[in-house]
Structure 1
């Protein structure tokens, strides 16, 4: 079996199970209107986010294009899909409250369906969708 192949299972339009390790939801943040100092402060603020419900990873790989991706993660171990969805929803509410503490204005759009697949496939070209 090829160790580079990662499993990808759709849970719903907004949540997938990645490699049987994490439930994953991804948001695209448009930061194109923010200057570099504001971006740095926002990154630090996001990095300080803490939740018992989910983990937050910040993908800055497309920062030069004015994009960040926020990965919302729930460990798969001992977590049913319905519980993972609830935890991501609750964690998202906590994240929005955390972001409400900052004055920077930027838009965040949740990736859905094939958008999530294409995002994950960028980093995992041998992605194997399973049903």
Structure 2
């Protein structure tokens, strides 16, 4: 069927069609939009239940480590080897061990920065 063969979409053809559509909508609980609508076939009861909406809890602040910058230092071979073995023994990064030592020496090191985020 082509567009030319279709009937025009001007609306419903009779009042009987409108009455059947109105009755169907009312039987499903739809509210009439026309004040001249026929009375519903069956009484429609809509139970109103109070809805309590509580505000969403504030999200917990996300603590992130401080931004980092690369730093290079030259240490004796035996110290590097000892640091590597200590990190393997503790299951952490060498950086964490160095930062703990810096904290013990009095430098400010935040707790989040002492975590090795690669190993969870």
TM range (shorter): under 0.3
Bigger share in strand:
1
Q: TM-score, normalised by structure 2?
A: 0.21
Q: TM-score, normalised by structure 1?
A: 0.20
